[in-house]
Amino acid sequence: MQLATEGQEIQTPEDAIKDPVVLEFLGLPESRRLVESELEEALISNLQHFLLEMGRGFAFVARQQRLMLDGDHFYIDPVFYHTLLKCYVLIDLKAGKLTHADLGQIQLYVNYYDAERRAEDDNATIGLILCADKNDAVVKYTLGEASRQIFASRYRLHLPSEQELAEEIRRELRQFSNNDDTDLRRSRD
């Protein structure tokens, strides 16, 4: 009821990150040949639509921001600042399935930003990988339970079909059911 009357309250990073992110407004075909630079170019060209899809509080800061570490160059795709969470949000775009190496890469960016760019009154930097597909177990075991700064969200170039929506609801219900079972076991212990 609170959500219906007051809108979404954004207090934690989890409140601000969507999964999946629907990028239908880009007009890109679903293709195995999609490359990250094309995806980024389409997002920047449609920045207003992208910001609306991401939700409240996102402000654009930079594109392809270069980091130089002991002579090695790295480039962060788009960089945002979240005005409600008061933190930087670094986005890494992946045209394919998420890998553990991708998670390590975004962790590098987040660690750098926290050490070198974050102001005293900023909260911890958030890293978000937008990928075509992901394995939740790879995310869980690569990041561990301690990581609250890195997120991996799937993107969709088209709205899901009715069948895909039904499967997603079943998946979410299984996840909630598993979480309830875990909480119940913890309370008994």
Reported pTM: 0.66
User: Is pLDDT of 52 > 70?
Assistant: yes
User: Is pLDDT of 34 > 90?
Assistant: no
User: Is pLDDT of 188 > 60?
Assistant: no
CA distance 9 to 125: 19
Sheet holding 150-156, edge to edge: 21-22, 150-156, 126-133, 87-97, 72-82, 58-69
Tens digits of per-residue pLDDT, 127-157? 999 898 998 889 888 888 767 889 988 887 7
Pairing of strands 126-133, 87-97: parallel
Question: What band does 22 get if pLDDT is binned at 50, 70 and 90?
Answer: low
Instruction: Show Cβ contacts of residue 152 under 8 Å, excluding neighbours closer than 6 positions.
Output: 19, 98, 102, 103, 128, 129, 131, 134, 139
- Report cis status (omega within 30 of 0) of the bond before 20: yes
CA distance 170 to 28: 28
Sign of CA dihedral 9, 13, 19, 23: positive
CATH ID of 10-158, from 3.40.1160.10, 3.40.1350.10, 3.30.70.141, 3.20.20.70: 3.40.1350.10
CA distance 150 to 131: 13
